[in-house]
Structure 1
Amino acid sequence: MNNSLKGILLITKTFIFFSVMVVLFPTCKKDDKSKEFVLRIRLADEPDCLHPVISQHGLATQLESLIMPPLFEYDVVSLDPLSILLENLSQPEEVNDSTYVYNYRIHKEAVWDDGRPVVSSDILFTLKSSLNPFIKNKTYAGFFKNIRDAKVDETDPKSIQIFVNKSYMLHREMSGNYCIYPEHIYDSKSILKGFSLQDLLTKDSASLGAEKWNQLKLYAEEYQSNDFCRNKITGCGPYKLASWQSGSKIILEKKKSWWGDSLSKNYPLLTAKPDRIEYWILPDETSALLELEKGNIDIMSDITPRNYVDLQKKGNSQLQFATPSILQYNFVEINHRRASLSEENVRKALCHLIDIQKFIQEHYYNLAVSVKSPVHPSRNYFNSELQDYDFNPGKSISILKESGWKDSDNDGTLDKVIKNKKEKLAFQLLVTNRELSKKFALLFQEEAKKVGITIDIVTKETTAFMSELNSLNFDLAMSGARQSPSPWDPYQAWSSKNTNSGGFNKSGYSSSFVDSLIFAIRTASNESNRTTAYKLLQKDLHEHVAQIFLFAPKERIAYNKRLNIETGSRRPGYYEGMVKLK
């Protein structure tokens, strides 16, 4: 075969080879760019429902805001309020000595899942539905009592005026820092159109009449139904609920041609980078860590400190780490309704059985700081003069002895007659399945036993745990509270008006002095007066041991290095919509 023919055959073979490659892999580069961005996030627990007014699980908030966002929200990093559904986040205008008005206009592009426009009557409906007296969760209603009125613009359905109590510290938040509901979906029979906002703000059963009062009751039953909690979930956010596989996954899919994409350059919280977000419900942390290391999940937060430190030491080149400060504190809830726990000296004795600094060092690997009140140490109104109760079991013994507690029947547990009834220092301590909660409980139990206090540890799944707290069926409970970047309003957690079953004052601790401080905080005319009241409230809660205040943890986040994430103080420490591929 001559050289010329060999050359022709070589060229032919080469051509055929590349032709086959093109046929087999015609769009390899294009596929890389157009590949769907699926973000997989681990959830340690399962939300109770996705219905902002109804849900009581902190994890629900994380998902709800992606489906039905508020008018505005706080940036994860800067904590500045940023518009989401509004053209402008305007400043309030003074109406009179007691009232501000916020004039808002919704983006003309904003639409619900079915294409219907988001209008001002949807905001009005959100307020009215939350104020229904038959709604079990009173959180929204408690806040919205500071709204004076809301007026829709009959000539412009996108415009609304929201009138708020000028003296209330969270008047800005009252104007729109809450998820907005589509009226035509959540009130398809237009029942609440028959009620004005003033009806729901000011009238009771007597003034409304039996017929209307019953209408509110019937409406609340449907509004709070499981159907709206898990099935009929809809909003104007970038994502919709694609599926909820109980105990396994919750999947959100980005809407095709979502209206916010064209505005995200000027409104950062409209950013929605992932095409699909899969929340993997993995209560077992060991299993979750394996999935993270294998690359099956992308983000895992709230990792047990020991596992977090060990994971860093492994040097997995596919992972990155972040420990932003988060607005949360952990505590032991005390039920002051129990005869023995109503005694301040008993509560103080319990405090002296906890070596909190040692616990932070040995079990949190210094990824937390101790707290002496419900106020996070990063707040400028944190009372830094308060001191930890020192670890001193001997002092616990002395306090209890001076208070008349003794082991009269030699069973190892101290007792005392209170109101003609023999009471024992024997308590149940509720905990969830979280490793650190159980670890703390065991250490607490061990020290308590040494001084004559019996603690029975009762472990419950999260939903059952919350049910016990809500029904006030507990003695002690390991708990935690997440807080908003907005100024802390202590009304829900500490007002005497919220101590009944279903209220947020689970401890039952209250006093006229505390109520007066809460009022002063909410209505202070300047920050100096508010700070003074804040610090006095912290001092009272600390000195009377309203709760056993423990520590404020740092978040522990591990995520795949393919991701670009900005972390910050607002839980869960990042915003899913802004997570992007590198």
Structure 2
Amino acid sequence: MKNYCANSLGIIFFWLLSCTAPTQEPAINIRLAQDPESLHPLSPGSAPKIQILNYLFQSLLATELKDKSIQPLLAAELPLIERKDSMSYFTFEIRPEAQWDNGSPVTAHDVALSLKLIHSPLLDNERWRAQFDFIKDIKLYSSHPKRLTIVCSGYSTEMKLMAGDFFVLPAYIFDPNSVLSSIPLKLVRDKFDSLATSNTFKSYASFINQKAMARDTSFVKGSGPYRLSNWKTGQILILDKKSNWWGNKVSKGKSVFNSKPSKIVFQVIPDNAAALLALKTKQLDLMDNIPVVPFIEMKKDKKYNQAFNFYSSPSYDLAFIGINGNKSYLKDNLTRQALAHLVNIPELIQVLQGGFANSTVGIVHPHEKQYYHTNLKPFPFDVKEAHRLLNKAGWKQTPAGWKRKNGRNDETLTLSLLYRGGNSESENIALLFKQNAQSLGIKINLQALESSQIGEKLNNRDYDLFIRTLVGNPYSYNFIHLFHTSNTHTGGANVTGFGTPATDELLERIAKEEDPAEKAVLLKKLQEKMQEESNLIFLYFLQNKMAISKQIDSVVVSGIKPGYDVTRFVKKK
């Protein structure tokens, strides 16, 4: 480990010298725990990838990290919304100043191309294609090249953001030969399979999928305030502010157009010990997701306090234990409730998180006071109550474990628990749960797997229990894809088998409800039903533990990822 740290810091120091030539403002140095690997705007990726793409590309709408409001970005105003029958229509006007790096204007044609690429075959776009499946067509106006109407199936309040929350890509880079220009979006969707067999489209897909699209500075560029100037895989990634960025003309009084740092340097340091040493030697201005023990120690250290401010910002990352309600021995809610009583959540928060987490009764963050069910309490850690519930569910404790008749067969309550290998937090949760379950005579077999292996087992419903983190936000309460019974099939997102016709109706009403007071009533009913069913044992919402240099002015931290707004940062010279 010492050698690793020394090598990492040597690389950091070398690159720091090479990238800190005099600029308009000092560079902001930020730690990345992993390399983004790809900056292709169509393919799925890690949180670091999405964070960096947001500085390079823009969407029609954006979220303000400071107050969580939805703001127009490429769009001049929030959309005009019309609802007719089963369809909804979002009409946007693109800002007249908006332009690409080659000086050409951003137009509705670029938006249309971006949606066509999201819905095209043969591309690594499955995640976005599923997320934006509700967008069925786009209407362009020949007399107004910057006006467009996005046609959507159905309506939910989340569409107010989602209908304009995708990267708008420059057509002159992504479709230089106008392969998609003459094909309507509706036709791309309707002729998806036949497009996949077309030689012309196969050739075009090869062009879009080429490696250069993921990292070459001549391709990875959009309408955002920064450009990718350097990227050494696994070591450093540098963004430079564009000197003639179009947003400078409209930035006054509009916080979503902030771009104060002239250079942002992302230092890739996977090892926490190496990152903490870089922080200590002030080679980093910001480090987030700091492990609990060093975070607490640094907060007590006078030298660190002289150089850094410390933040523990609530996030929307929800840790939970999932229970496979598709298994016969876990099918009844009494058994699942018994397992919930074997989780000591206050202990987990204190011991594993140092108190830097927020307990919750469900899927809604406690800070969202209007929607959170304050009268509902988490199940307490109670072995006796777990014993009572198991008996009520028909289980009997024997020297060989808990047994129950299922028709002519005997069932034994011996369970496997999946967690991500190498993740100390998940491992400790698993160990503590196993210890509590064993005190009641329930055998738990722990299985440490890679994230992809866990995903495969969940998709095939080949598991009993699993530990994961669900990443949320304060804008969307449409949980249909996660918890509706229509998605309990193999490969569907409802991997725990949660749901009844009554909860399906609740989910559908929540997705459509616009009145906040009525939505609050519905969400609280959902929280009650989810606790009653206990397919998920909600542990806590994580807090993002950060250290930010005291040389940085205008600091904004937020529960919305990445947890801070670097575009506001001003570093003292």
Q: Structure 1 length as normaliser, TM-score?
A: 0.82
Whether the 8 Å CA contact 1:167–1:524 is kept in 2: the answer is no
2:255 is aligned with 1:268: yes
Return the alpha-carbon distance in structure 2 between the equivalents of residues 415 and 508 of structure 1.
23
Give how far 1:139 is off: 5.0
| Aligned equivalent of 1:119 | 107
Q: CA deviation at 1:544?
A: 0.5
Residue of structure 1 equivalent to 2:13:
none
In 2, Cα distance between the equivalents of 1:500 and 1:300? 41
The AA in structure 1 aligned to 2:258 is: T
**Which letter maps to 1:272?**
S
| Equivalence map 1:412-451=2 (5 Å) | 414=402, 416=404, 418=406, 420=409, 424-451=413-440
State the shift of 1:57 in Å. Answer: 3.3
Instruction: Tell me: CA distance 1:185–1:504, structure 2 relative to 1, closer, same or farther (3 Å).
Output: farther
Are 2:99 and 1:105 equivalent residues in the alignment?
no
The structure 1 residue matched to 2:379, chosen from 376, 389, 397, is 389
CA contact (8 A) 1:431 1:477 kept: no
Does residue 569 of the first structure (1) align with residue 559 of the second (2)? yes
Q: What CA distance in whole angstroms lies between the structure 2 residues aligned with 1:172 and 1:415?
A: 51
CA shift in 2, pair 1:191/1:338, >3 Å? farther
- Which secondary structure does the structure 1 equivalent of 2:349 belong to? helix
> Residue 407 and residue 148 in structure 1: after superposition, are their counterparts in 2 closer, same or farther (change >3 A)?
same
Give the SS at the match of 2:547.
Answer: strand
Q: Confirm or deny: 8 A CA contact 1:169 1:522 kept in the other structure.
A: yes
Match of 1:236 among 220, 223, 228: 223
Secondary structure of the residue aligned to 1:389 is: coil
**How do 1:290-369 residues align onto structure 2 when only pairs under 5 Å count?**
290-315=277-302, 316=304, 317-369=306-358
Please state how far the C-alpha of 1:337 moved relative to its aligned partner: 3.5
Is the 2:122–2:196 contact (alpha carbons within 8 Å) kept by the matching residues of 1? no
* Structure 1 letter corresponding to 2:533: H
The change in CA–CA distance for 1:184 and 1:368 in structure 2 (over 3 A counts) is: same
Letter paired with 1:403: A
Residue identity (%): 26
SS at 1:63's partner residue? Answer: helix
Query: Following the alignment from structure 1 to structure 2, what is the Cα–Cα distance between the partners of residues 430 and 522?
Result: 31
Q: Which residue of 1 aligns with 2:388?
A: 398
Matched positions, count: 544
- Classify 1:334/1:194 alpha carbon distance in 2 versus 1 (closer, same or farther; 3 Å): farther
Query: Alpha-carbon deviations, 1:262-304, whole Å to 9, x = none?
Result: 3322432222222332333333323222211111121111222
CA distance in 2, matches of 1:251, 1:539: 47
Structure 1 residues 15-26: aligned runs within 5 Å: none
Letter of the 2:197 counterpart = N
Match of 1:288 among 275, 284, 287: 275
2:330 counterpart SS class:
coil
1:484 to 469, 473, 477: 473
User: Which deviations, in whole Å up to 9, do the C-alpha atoms of 1:93-113 show, x marking residues without a partner?
Assistant: 546466654442323343334
Residues 361 and 538 in structure 2, CA contact (< 8 A), matched pair in contact too: yes
Task: Render the CA deviation track for 1:187-237: whole Å, top value 9, x for unaligned.
Answer: 455444454233356x4xxxx496346349957777567664555533221
Distance (Å, rounded) in 1 between the aligned partners of 2:129 and 2:519: 23
- Assess if the C-alpha contact under 8 Å between 2:121 and 2:192 holds in 1: no
Q: CA deviation at 1:313?
A: 0.2
| Structure 1 residue 152 corresponds to structure 2 residue 140 | yes
For residue 214 of structure 1, what is the aligned residue in structure 2? 197
Asked if structure 1 preserves the Cα contact closer than 8 Å seen for 2:286 and 2:549, the reply is yes
Q: 2:522 corresponds to which letter in structure 1?
A: A
Residue 11 (structure 2) aligns with: none
Aligned-pair CA distance for 1:548: 0.9
CA displacement at 1:572 relative to structure 2: 2.2
Contact 2:364–2:372 (CA<8 Å) still a contact in 1?
yes
SS at the partner of 1:236? coil
**1:500-555 deviation digits (Å, cap 9, x = unpaired):** 56543343423332221121112225333322222222211121012110112332
Does the aligned pair in 1 maintain the 2:430–2:446 contact within 8 Å? Answer: yes
1:75 Cα offset (Å): 0.9
Aligned residue for 2:441, secondary structure, equals coil
Paired with 2:99 and 2:249, the residues of 1 have a C-alpha distance of 13
CA separation of 1:286 and 1:453: change in aligned 2, threshold 3 A? farther
Alignment-derived partner of residue 77 in structure 2: 89
Partner of 1:70: 59
Q: Equivalent residues in 2 for 1:184-203 (5 A)?
A: 184-188=172-176, 190-193=178-181, 195-199=183-187, 203=190
Deviation at 1:150, TM superposition (A): 2.3
Aligned-partner Cα distance in 2 for 1:299–1:563: 9
Deviation at 1:119, TM superposition (A): 1.5
What is the distance in 1 between the residues matched to 2:468 and 2:41?
Answer: 21
Conserved 8 A contact 1:146-1:168: no
Q: Over residues 390-422 of structure 1, what are the superposed CA-to-partner deviations in whole Å (9 max), with x where a residue is unaligned?
A: 101222233334434457783xx5455657585
8 A contact 1:169–1:521 mirrored in 2: no
Q: 1:325 deviation in Å?
A: 2.7
CA–CA distance in structure 1, aligned partners of residues 187 and 516 of structure 2:
33
Change (3 A) 1:143 1:384: same
Corresponding residue for 1:27?
none
The RMSD of aligned alpha carbons is 3.3
Query: Which is higher, the Rg of structure 1 or of structure 2?
Result: 1
User: Which sections of structure 2, spanning at least 5 residues, go unmatched?
Assistant: 1-19
Q: 1:343 to 1:284 in 2, by over 3 A?
A: farther
Matched to 2:445, the amino acid is D
CA contact (8 A) 2:120 2:192 kept: no
Which of 130, 144, 149 lines up with 1:161 in the alignment? 149
Cα distance, 1:284–1:131 mapped onto 2, change above 3 Å = same
Deviation sequence 1:21-40 (CA, Å, 0-9, x none): xxxxxxxxxx9974653222
8 Å contact from structure 2 (residues 259, 568) kept in 1 = yes
- 2:267 is aligned with 1:277: no
Structure 2 Cα separation of the partners of residues 92 and 388 of structure 1:
42
Alpha-carbon distance in 2 for matches of 1:493, 1:526: 23
Structure 1 residue 178 corresponds to structure 2 residue 166: yes
Change (3 A) 1:497 1:195: farther
Name which of structure 1's ranges 469-478 and 563-572 shifts more when overlaid on structure 2: 469-478
Residues 341 and 299 from structure 1, CA distance in 2 versus in 1: closer, same or farther, beyond 3 angstroms? Answer: farther
Residues 335 and 257 from structure 1, CA distance in 2 versus in 1: closer, same or farther, beyond 3 angstroms? farther
Q: How far does the alpha carbon of each residue in 1:44-71 deviate from its partner, in whole angstroms, 9 at most, with x for none?
A: 3444643455315344322221121212
The answer to whether the 8 A contact 1:415-1:425 is kept is no
Moved more, 154-163 or 190-199: 190-199
Query: Does structure 1 conserve the Cα–Cα contact (< 8 Å) formed by 2:415 and 2:464?
Result: no
Q: Which residue in 1 is equivalent to 2:507?
A: 518
TM-aligned CA distance change 1:61 to 1:415, over 3 Å: farther
Query: What do the CA deviations read for 1:127-176 (whole angstroms, capped 9, x no partner)?
Result: 23323477776554455344464222212322223344674212311331
